[in-house]
Amino acid sequence: MSEVIGIKHNDEIFDTQTAKSQGIWGEEIYFDNSNEALQIIRHSCAHLMAQAIKEIYSDAKFFVGPVVDEGFYYDFKTTAKIGEEDLVVIEKKMKEIAKRGLPINKCVMSREEAMKKFASDELKQAVMAKIAGDSFGVYQQGDFEDLCRGPHLPNTKLLHSFKLTKLAGAYLGGDENAEMLTRIYGIAFADKESLNAYIQQLEEAKKRDHRKLGLEMGLFGFDEEIGAGLPIWLPKGARLRRRIEELLTKALIVREYEPVRGPEILKSSVWKVSGHYDNYKENMYFTTIDEVEYGIKPMNCVGHIKVYQSSHRSYKELPLRFYEYGIVHRHEKSGVLHGLLRVREFTQDDAHIFCRPAQIKDEVSNIIDFTRKIMQAFGFDYEMELSTRPDKSIGSDDVWQTATEALKEALQSNGIVYQIDEGGGAFYGPKIDIKITDAIGRKWQCGTIQIDMNLPERFELKYTDENNAFAQPVMIHRAILGSFERFVAILTEHFGGEFPFFIAPTQIVLIPIGEEQLSMAWDIKKHLLGLGVYAEVMDKNETLAKRIRNAEKQRVPLIGVIGEKEATNKTLAIRDRMSKTQYEMKVEEFFNMAETKMKEVSF
């Protein structure tokens, strides 16, 4: 069993000896890689990093240093210019401080005491201005101290498996109009084996970075003249997207979803009814037309509600399933933009289902089945998390209970092992989050299934029930991929650019050795395009070896070489990238194989 870090009591960790001598009782926290232990280890490591920075750069002042999904970070400022090469120096100092075995102690100050203590530190003043209440926790180790609610480890000697990972800039408090601070990220674990495994994963992730591969493979790009966070889809990337859309659309038609489309901009009055104007305005873009304010849509739900309202609805029509590959815009801060993973314009694989409460279970069960087929097609492991009613919410207890139980039953009937996030639901209803694991073990939040009682109430949605009385439908928000942009980024990194044949942007490259074989290559390409298979002919005046190398750099699944012998025998000399084999095949057989490969995957 792992050693005990200490005893957790009132959000503070006491070493076992101190706890025993002072008669302090609480939960034993083990020094392992459990979520709770890692939160404490990484939070303590953030302060260790800040102490090291302070010892190297004496004028350093610190803003915040939280634990995040990828480890921890600290925002700070100093007059010194810090580069990537300085991370090694800071990390070395951290190890030196950790070995000192400094006790980590906590004290509590009143707001007045804290304001006085940090009177000359404008960043600490900014932190305190954001915190309500009259008391502040202050953690101290050696001569370093900082505001923090904790908990932390009892001693720095427990920190030994950490690494600083990257340097970035960050606006103070995330405000683009505020000053720019330096941000350093790091990671920490309970043991060196876990740290080394994570470092190897980071190295593999660098090779698979979708921004690098997207540029190399000609999938997408960004242009400063157009604007940050606004991706440009190049032909190959657009082909990849289109293929995913085609597979989705076929599956949606079979599942009786109806295509709809809402406008890109809607009057602000409708966003006021939906609640977005009051609760989401800072994430939206607005414009004025004929002295009337309009909001560019950040989501598609209002447009779909208007489709529902376009006709009187009967219980016999329900459930109604509407889908749209809807382009939305959100005002993301420049500091969080990241390739296709975080952009300002993106396209959701969005759907909304309007149904009766008794139909929730079956509808959610169908979505879960749909999700399973998609994840299996792309080779993703996945998990689901159920979030229940938060303290601040709307709707009756009965409807919440019905909706929550329906989600649970749908998960259970599909054999899904799930976690429960108590109180983590949206204020308007419970939800299921879909999290996928890629080829190198990273987890990604993608799709979501949300039960909504809020918007049907706000827009006074109705249907006539079997007693000829009006009733309010339940609205289910459903996105499985999340957005095409984010999903393509994840797919690119999951496959390392080695896309399987059924979605590859270019599925075969045809290379005629001489001009005599050129017409045969173009005839084969034309036939393949008719089958929905995308082929390119490489006929540049280059050596055969160079053309093959160029095709391989594009990670094309199949290369078909046509020489004099192949032209005579009506064959192709195939280089199969996936199986790493070479073989010869009759052209007609190849057409049949390609057509079969395109049909192997369906959702």
pLDDT tens readout for residues 528-564: 999 999 999 998 888 999 999 999 999 999 999 999 9
- At a CB cut-off of 8 Å and minimum separation 6, what does 133 contact? 111
pLDDT band, very low/low/confident/very high, at 4 (cuts 50, 70, 90)? low
pLDDT at 351 over 90: yes
Q: What's the pLDDT at 315? A: 96
pLDDT band, very low/low/confident/very high, at 85 (cuts 50, 70, 90)? very high
pLDDT at 174 over 80: no
- At a CB cut-off of 8 Å and minimum separation 6, what does 332 contact? 229, 283, 342, 343, 344
pLDDT at 266 over 90: yes
Q: What are phi and psi of 592, to 5 degrees?
A: -65, -40
- At a CB cut-off of 8 Å and minimum separation 6, what does 316 contact? none
Nearest to 213 by CA among 237, 239, 245: 237
Q: What is the pLDDT of residues 115-140, one digit of tens each?
A: 999 999 999 999 998 888 888 889 99
Nearest to 163 by CA among 132, 201, 120: 201
From the number of C-beta atoms within 10 Å of its C-beta (0-12, 13-18, 19+), residue 501 rates as: buried
CA–CA gap between residue 500 and residue 555 (Å, rounded)? 10
Q: What's the pLDDT at 18? A: 63
Task: Out of 49-58, 328-337, 493-502, pick the least confident.
Answer: 328-337
Q: What's the pLDDT at 396? A: 78
When mean pLDDT is compared over 36-50, 277-291, 312-326, 328-342, the highest value belongs to 312-326
Q: What are phi and psi of 453, to 5 degrees?
A: -105, -10
- Segment 480-488 mean pLDDT: 94
Complete domains list, the chain, with CATH: 4-208 (3.30.980.10), 215-262+297-369+451-495 (3.30.930.10), 508-599 (3.40.50.800)
- Segment 186-209 mean pLDDT: 92
Q: What's the pLDDT at 209? A: 94
Amino acid code (one letter) for 373: K
Average of per-residue pLDDT values in the chain: 91
- At a CB cut-off of 8 Å and minimum separation 6, what does 213 contact? 219, 492, 493, 496, 497
- Segment 158-175 mean pLDDT: 90
pLDDT at 488 over 90: yes
pLDDT at 15 over 70: no
Residues carrying an active site annotation: 301, 330, 348, 350, 352, 431, 477
Which long-range contacts does 268-277 make (Cβ < 8 Å, 24+ apart)? Answer: 268/292, 268/293, 268/294, 268/295, 270/302, 271/295, 271/302, 273/458, 273/459, 274/301, 274/302, 274/455, 274/458, 274/459, 275/454, 275/458, 276/302
Return the SS3 of 69.
coil
Q: What's the pLDDT at 1? A: 47
pLDDT band, very low/low/confident/very high, at 150 (cuts 50, 70, 90)? confident
Contact 197, 80 (CB under 8 A): no
Q: What is the pLDDT of residues 578-601, one digit of tens each?
A: 889 999 999 999 999 999 999 888
Q: What's the pLDDT at 480? A: 94
Residue 381 structure tokens: 């492991």
CA–CA gap between residue 13 and residue 280 (Å, rounded)? 38
Q: What is the pLDDT of residues 381-426, one digit of tens each?
A: 999 999 999 887 777 788 788 889 989 999 999 899 899 989 888 8
pLDDT band, very low/low/confident/very high, at 21 (cuts 50, 70, 90)? low
Which long-range contacts does 410-418 make (Cβ < 8 Å, 24+ apart)? Answer: 410/360, 410/361, 410/362, 410/364, 410/365, 410/368, 411/368, 411/384, 411/386, 413/361, 413/365, 414/365, 414/368, 414/369, 414/372, 416/368, 416/384, 417/383, 418/383, 418/384, 418/385, 418/386
Q: What is the pLDDT of residues 516-528, one digit of tens each?
A: 999 999 999 999 9
Q: What's the pLDDT at 5? A: 67
Residue 588 structure tokens: 């007609």
Q: What's the pLDDT at 12? A: 66
Q: What percent of the chain has pLDDT over 90?
A: 70
Q: What are phi and psi of 196, to 5 degrees?
A: -60, -40
When mean pLDDT is compared over 427-436, 461-470, 546-555, the highest value belongs to 461-470
Nearest to 24 by CA among 36, 39, 14: 14
Amino acid code (one letter) for 28: E
CA dihedral (97, 102, 108, 109) positive or negative: negative
Residue 198: half-sphere exposure toward Cβ, Cα within 13 Å? 18
pTM: 0.82
Distances in whole angstroms, Cα of residue 573 to Cα of each of 339, 566, 587: 38, 7, 10
Neighbours of 586 (CB within 10 A): 13
What is the chain's length?
603
Strand-pair partners of 286: 295
pLDDT band, very low/low/confident/very high, at 441 (cuts 50, 70, 90)? confident
Between residues 214 and 541, the one the model is more confident about? 214
DSSP assigned state of 578: T
Q: What's the pLDDT at 19? A: 67
